[in-house]
Structure 1
Amino acid sequence: MSALQNRDQLLFLIYDLEPGGPELRLLDFARHFPDNAVMHICVLSNNLRLLPKFQETKAVIQVLPVKKAYLEPMKAFRLATIVRKNGIALINVFDLKGLMVAVIAKILFGCRAKIVFNAVDLMHNYSKRNKLVMQMLSRFAAGFVYNSKQVKNIFSPYIPNNSKSQVIYNGLDRNVFSCFRYKKLALRRQYKIDTGSFVIGTVANFRVEKNYPFLINAFKDFVQTDQSAKLLCVGGGPLLQEIQELVILAGLEKHVIFTGYVDDVASFIAMMDVFVLCSRAEGLPNTLLQAMSMEVPVVCSAVGGCLEVVSHNQNGLLFDCDDKAGFSEAIHALAIDQRLRTRLSGNAKKTIEEHFTMGHMIQSYLEFYRSV
Structure 2
Amino acid sequence: MKKILVCGMSQNLGGVECFLMNYYRNINRNKVQFDFLCNSESCAFEEEIKHLGGKVYHVCARSKNIYQFYKDVNEFFSNHAKDYDGIWVNKCMLNNIEFIKYAKRYNIPKRIIHAHNSNNMENTIKGKLQGLLHYIHRRSIHKYATDFWACSRDAGSWAFPKEIMKGENFRIIHNAIDSEKFRYNVDTRELYRKRLGLTNSFVVGHVGRFQYQKNHEFLIDIFKSIYHKNSNAVLLLIGVGELEDKIKEKVHSLSLDNAVKFLGVRNDVAQLMQAMDVFVFPSLFEGLGIALIEAQVAGLPSFTSTNVVPQEAKITNLLHYINLNESAIAWADTIVDSQAIHRELYVQASMDYNIKSAASKLELHFSNICNK
Answer whether TM exceeds 0.5 for this pair: yes
Aligned to 2:46: 51
Separation in structure 1 between the aligned mates of residue 228 and residue 104 of structure 2, nearest angstrom: 60
Question: Which TM-score applies when normalising by structure 2?
Answer: 0.87
Separation in structure 2 between the aligned mates of residue 41 and residue 189 of structure 1, nearest angstrom: 39
Determine if the alignment matches structure 1 residue 33 to structure 2 residue 18: no
Aligned to 1:250: 254
Aligned to 1:101: 99
Determine if the alignment matches structure 1 residue 91 to structure 2 residue 91: no
SS of alignment partner, residue 252 of structure 1: coil
**Alpha-carbon shift at residue 64 of structure 1 (Å):** 2.6
Cα distance 1:80–1:277, how it changes in 2: closer, same or farther (>3 A)? same
Aligned to 2:145: 141
The superposition leaves residues 173-202 of structure 1 with CA deviations (integer Å, 9 ceiling, x where unpaired) of: 112222655311111221222x22110111
- Give the alignment of 1:224-243 within 5 angstroms: 224-243=228-247
Question: Which TM-score applies when normalising by structure 1?
Answer: 0.87
Separation in structure 2 between the aligned mates of residue 150 and residue 212 of structure 1, nearest angstrom: 22
Higher mean Cα deviation, 353-362 or 274-283? 353-362
**Alpha-carbon shift at residue 120 of structure 1 (Å):** 0.7
- Give the alignment of 1:234-313 within 5 angstroms: 234-310=238-314
* Paired letter, 2:318: N
Determine if the alignment matches structure 1 residue 178 to structure 2 residue 179: no
Determine if the alignment matches structure 1 residue 209 to structure 2 residue 213: yes
**Alpha-carbon shift at residue 353 of structure 1 (Å):** 3.8
Separation in structure 2 between the aligned mates of residue 176 and residue 39 of structure 1, nearest angstrom: 23
Say whether the 8 Å CA contact 1:317–1:330 is kept in structure 2: no
**Alpha-carbon shift at residue 74 of structure 1 (Å):** 5.0
**Alpha-carbon shift at residue 133 of structure 1 (Å):** 2.7
Say whether the 8 Å CA contact 1:76–1:102 is kept in structure 2: no
Separation in structure 1 between the aligned mates of residue 14 and residue 37 of structure 2, nearest angstrom: 17
Separation in structure 1 between the aligned mates of residue 186 and residue 48 of structure 2, nearest angstrom: 23
1:10 to 4, 12, 19: 4
Unpaired runs of 5+ residues, structure 2, are 122-129
Say whether the 8 Å CA contact 1:30–1:59 is kept in structure 2: no
Say whether the 8 Å CA contact 2:114–2:148 is kept in structure 1: yes
**Alpha-carbon shift at residue 296 of structure 1 (Å):** 1.7
Count of residue pairs the alignment pairs up: 353
1:22 to 16, 33, 39: 16
Cα distance 1:174–1:105, how it changes in 2: closer, same or farther (>3 A)? closer
Report sequence identity in percent.
19
Determine if the alignment matches structure 1 residue 190 to structure 2 residue 195: yes
Runs of 4+ aligned residues of structure 1 deviating over 3 Å after TM superposition are: 68-71, 96-99, 158-163, 179-182, 303-306
Separation in structure 2 between the aligned mates of residue 103 and residue 268 of structure 1, nearest angstrom: 41
Determine if the alignment matches structure 1 residue 122 to structure 2 residue 122: no
The superposition leaves residues 218-273 of structure 1 with CA deviations (integer Å, 9 ceiling, x where unpaired) of: 21112122111111111110000000000011111111111111122112211100
Say whether the 8 Å CA contact 2:182–2:294 is kept in structure 1: yes
* Paired letter, 2:56: I
Say whether the 8 Å CA contact 1:294–1:349 is kept in structure 2: yes
Say whether the 8 Å CA contact 1:142–1:164 is kept in structure 2: yes
Separation in structure 1 between the aligned mates of residue 155 and residue 68 of structure 2, nearest angstrom: 26
* Paired letter, 2:41: N
Say whether the 8 Å CA contact 2:148–2:170 is kept in structure 1: yes
Separation in structure 2 between the aligned mates of residue 219 and residue 246 of structure 1, nearest angstrom: 12
Separation in structure 2 between the aligned mates of residue 123 and residue 69 of structure 1, nearest angstrom: 29
**Alpha-carbon shift at residue 106 of structure 1 (Å):** 2.4
Separation in structure 2 between the aligned mates of residue 81 and residue 163 of structure 1, nearest angstrom: 32
Say whether the 8 Å CA contact 1:180–1:266 is kept in structure 2: no
Cα distance 1:203–1:303, how it changes in 2: closer, same or farther (>3 A)? farther
Cα distance 1:318–1:273, how it changes in 2: closer, same or farther (>3 A)? same
The superposition leaves residues 150-169 of structure 1 with CA deviations (integer Å, 9 ceiling, x where unpaired) of: 11121233875646101121
Determine if the alignment matches structure 1 residue 341 to structure 2 residue 348: no
Aligned to 1:3: none
**Alpha-carbon shift at residue 66 of structure 1 (Å):** 4.0
* Paired letter, 1:357: N
- Give the alignment of 1:328-367 within 5 angstroms: 328-335=332-339, 337=340, 340-342=341-343, 345=344, 349-350=347-348, 352-367=349-364
Separation in structure 1 between the aligned mates of residue 67 and residue 115 of structure 2, nearest angstrom: 19
SS of alignment partner, residue 254 of structure 1: coil
SS of alignment partner, residue 286 of structure 2: coil
Separation in structure 1 between the aligned mates of residue 44 and residue 98 of structure 2, nearest angstrom: 24
1:317 to 315, 320, 340: 320
